Amino acid sequence: MIQLVDVTKSYDDTIVVERLNLKIDSGEIVGIIGHNGAGKSTTLKMIAGLVEPTSGHVRVMGHDMQKESIKVKQRIGYLPEESSLYEAMTAQQYLLFFSELYRMPRRKALQRIDQLLDSLGLADKNKLTGEFSKGMKRKTAIARTLLHDPELLILDEPNSGLDPLTSFFIINYLKTLKRAGKTIILSAHNLFHVETICDRVGIIKNGKLLIFDSMDIIRSRLGKREYQVLFHTDQKLDYEPVNGNYVFRTGEVDAIARMLETVSANGWTLMDLSMRESALEEIYVKLMTAS
């Protein structure tokens, strides 16, 4: 679906993206994360054919985006981080205007618009977009991105500035789009959302891709696993007290086995046995703060 080979983008003497190599398969949801100015938005724009790389090659759906982007753009839906609406129009009028730019037949466009507005919870067709909440405006912008039924969605901070309920709705909506066969690339600062829905995650720092893989592999390489035994006894012990119980924590499986034997041999009451893996946020902070 998408391949970036040794892609570099610079403005004057400032390198924004440096020798980026990336391959994305059809049907994936891929998250690109990094600090402000890391090169995320520039990378998405190069994939969308909106910005040309200084060097290297970007191929999307088998086409060279430097030479053949016009053949691909009709099959791409791009959502920028900031997306202004025509606030004197209703959502239906706004989307109908864009359907004309896509040269969609009017009857087909109206059916598609109704479907999108209903699925995104924007049923009030008479309300002007200037009267919308930020969440409703973002949903309208997403509807515009989906209007021509693109195969590839490129979403720059789709949940930017939204309340938790609207963010939750959009994340679940993206899952629905994946089940419908869409390929989705998104950037986001909410790492919990990225971890929840993405098949693979790329972390960019100062224009360089540090890692690109599934969360399982990222955790195995950069994270840690902690096991916890929670038990109860009336004895005074040299373990960490927690709400009238004691807790034993370790990253070693053998140490957990020995602790369970100790609990059993002493007649203590096992309250809970759990395992916790590093969250994406912890791994991200570790990479960003490394020298």
pLDDT of residue 287: 92
Most trustworthy range by pLDDT among 69-73, 177-181, 267-271:
267-271
User: What is the average pLDDT across 127-140?
Assistant: 91
User: What is the average pLDDT across 68-81?
Assistant: 90
User: What is the average pLDDT across 24-42?
Assistant: 95
pLDDT of residue 76: 94
Q: What is the pLDDT of residues 173-218, one digit of tens each?
A: 999 999 999 999 999 988 999 999 999 999 999 999 999 999 999 9
Indicate whether 48 pLDDT > 80.
Answer: yes
pLDDT of residue 159: 87
Phi and psi (nearest 5°) for 124? -80, 95
Alpha-carbon distances of 53 from 4, 38, 62, rounded to whole Å: 10, 16, 17
Indicate whether 53 pLDDT > 90.
Answer: yes
Beta bridge partners of 185: 30, 154
- Evaluate whether 35 touches 79 at the Cβ level (below 8 Å): no
Indicate whether 290 pLDDT > 90.
Answer: no
User: With bands split at pLDDT 50, 70 and 90, how would you rate the model's confidence at 291?
Assistant: low
The domains found in the chain, sorted by start residue, are 2-84+150-220 (3.40.50.300), 225-289 (3.30.1490)
User: What is the average pLDDT across 272-282?
Assistant: 93
Pick the range with the lowest mean pLDDT from 8-17, 105-114, 164-173, 178-187. 164-173
pLDDT of residue 33: 96
| CB-CB neighbours of 278 under 10 Å | 17
